[in-house]
Amino acid sequence: MAARRLGIRLAIGAVAAWAAGAAWAQGGSSLFGGAGGPRAVTVSAEASAAEAAPGAQLAIAVVLDHALHYHTWPSADQDVLPEAIAEFAIRTSIEVGQVDPALADTLQIQWPKPNVNPVPDVTGAGATVDVPTYSGRAVAFIPVQIAEAATEGTLEVPLFVTYQACDESSCLPPESEEIVVSIQIKQGADSVTTAPLFDGFDPSVFGSDQAVAEATAGPGSRREFFGIALPSGEGALGLVITGLLAALGGFILNLTPCVLPVIPIKVMTISQHASKPAEALKLGLWMAAGVVAFWIGIGLPVAFVSSVTDPSRLFGIWWVTLGIGLIIGAMGVGIMGLFVINLPQKVYMVNPKADSAWGSFVFGVMTAVLGLPCFGFVAGALLAGAATMPATLILTIFACLGIGMALPYLVLSAKPGWVEKIPRTGPASELVKQVMGLLLLAAAAYFIGAGAIGFVSERPGMAASMPWWFKTAHWWVIALCAAAAGVWLLVRTFQITERPAPRVVIAAVALVIGGVAVAYAADTTDKARNNIWVAFDEAALEAARAQGQVVVVDFTAEWCLNCKALKAAVLTRQPVKGELLGSGVTPMVADLTSTRAPGWEKLRSLGQTGIPLLVIYGPGLDEPWQSNAYTSQQVMDALERARGARVSAR
């Protein structure tokens, strides 16, 4: 392999040298910008606004104009080249030079969509091979965030652009160009632009916090479920809410029979080693840190896998998704008592002393470990299901689970007298396990249903014979399990206690658990019965475009919760739904539940690797509009542009 790669690189070098010599012999380096002719690639850059106020958000467009028949290699950030080509291709890159952080910051580059062009086949199998490259006018966008505290003056953004121009027979030597873009920072300046050059820029990158996006996107952009506004799970606000819910779950784990009885024992052990209340609180803090460290420790492997792989590809394998569902189902019936987790006897023999900071830390770790026979089922289900989430969200969930579980130890170490108020184990703690088990069975039904749909999707004949309700049946199994959890929680609570306050609170919780699940299943079934989406097909897409239609393609999958959340919050609600039902618009759905789905090839051709993704084509767009996280207003604006109208950038 090493010899082969060396041979390829020598061949490319020889071709480049020949091209340079040929150009020089014809009267100067015309292809490199000499007086004898046009350049193969002309590079320019332009800011979306010449003036910007402190705190403004704008973009810099880096334009590569290619001469006829010439192309450049796509960025390494877009993994679209075949291996045989990728090993020698000199990728297009844009490096941002030193920018004063007190003035501005730049975000991740938005690369243009590659086009398929013929390039020299260095493997020798043929004269040329068709691969994705940049050609024609290719525009990359660099988002720029002006600092709130920026003072008036000139902001200079140096850019270093490297590329290699090739045609179907040869490649020229790589070139690097430096361009400096100047922006005047001025109080009260308006940075809004209507320049068509920036139509393809996605401004949503500025607001990872959904609240910011909602505040700037206008009415109708909030994510809702049955009219209730919901926060995003990806922004700062979403992370906070997710963390709070995870902490509540961790606190509830203390109510299981394996954990609840040992809380007073652990707290009294710390109190015995402390000479004064401040020392007890210090040791309690270290013990709590040990509990949190345990949960982070079991979440780190999943976060690592999620950060280095694409869950979209992993969960597109039907038997992987089905297997995860079966594992979660086994955890569900296990926590309800069908089988138990037994730790090795040597684990119980580990008895760290809680008389020092390090001892209390290990004491906290072992406290969590010894609770595994009860909550290990929940941890196992989380490990299986969390791989669909971003690494940041995974670590947030596991860390906050630890915080919630550690909270009683921290509070009671500061107030040891409250130990007497801790409830004892009994029917209530068993009820916690049983409800958890039913909710795990609901989660298992979700993954098993997605796996079954993936299996059928890989067999077109079988898929064509399935009734319309096939893809919604598992949601009723989920609703049944959740409703059973709510009913059982309500019934057992009335049997266990006669106190009105717990009965009222638990009744409300039970109604939410069961009611939301049933309502969502009904809503999903209604949308499936009145489906407005056409199954994606490349020929149908091109036919609709040829007729001047605006085509909206939703890339989704049965296992993709983010896809479902976006569709429910934006695409199936007004005003977007009304536009999709209007004349001149064709809504298509590219179901990627199976790895063999035809939509995957289209996804890769768009320069994308994962979902969710919404793509809009139209006669008013030179390039299709794409977004992985969108609001109603952004979709409405894109539809206007697709019809041929121009709107101001936001």
pLDDT in tens, 594-603: 777 788 888 8
**Cis amide leading into 575 (omega within 30):** yes
Neighbours of 27 (CB within 10 A): 11
Give, in order, the Cα–Cα distances in Å from 95 to each of 100, 140, 607.
15, 12, 20
627 token code pair: 């977004």
Per-residue three-class SS string for 407-445: HHHHHHHHCHHHHHHCCCCCHHHHHHHHHHHHHHHHHHH
What's the confidence (pLDDT) of residue 396?
Answer: 86
Q: Exposure pattern of 373-398 as b/e (b: 16+ CB <10 Å)?
A: bbbbbbbbbbbbbbbbbbbebbbbbb
Least confident of 463-472, 538-547, 633-642: 463-472
- Classified as helix, coil or strand, 555 is strand
Mind listing the pLDDT tens digit for each residue in 499-531? 898 889 889 988 988 888 898 888 778 777 767
Q: Residue 309: left if φ>0, alpha if ψ -120 to 50, beta else—which one? A: beta
Q: How confident is the model at residue 169 (pLDDT cuts 50, 70, 90)?
A: confident
Could you tell me the pTM of the whole model? 0.44
Assess whether pLDDT exceeds 90 at residue 140.
yes
Tokens 């606004």 sit on residue: 49
Predicted confidence at residue 618, as pLDDT, reads: 92
Please tell me the distance from the alpha carbon of residue 460 to that of residue 205, in angstroms, as a whole number. Answer: 38
Contact of 364 with 406, CB cutoff 8 Å:
yes
Angle at the Cα of 168 (from 164 to 171), degrees rounded to 5? 30
Burial class (CB in 10 A: 0-12, 13-18, 19+), 622: exposed
The string of pLDDT tens digits covering residues 291-345 is 899 888 888 877 776 665 555 556 667 787 788 788 878 877 877 767 666 666 6
Residue at 474: amino acid letter: H
Query: Token pair for residue 317?
Result: 């394998």
Q: What is the β-pairing status of strands 165-166 and 71-72? A: antiparallel
Closest alpha carbon to 287 in 346, 356, 371: 356
CATH class of 532-643: alpha beta
Helix (H) or strand (E) holding 132: strand 128-135
> How would CATH label the architecture of 2-201?
Sandwich (2.60)
Q: Do domains 2-201 and 532-643 have the same CATH topology?
A: no
Residue spans of the domains in the chain: they are 2-201, 245-466, 532-643
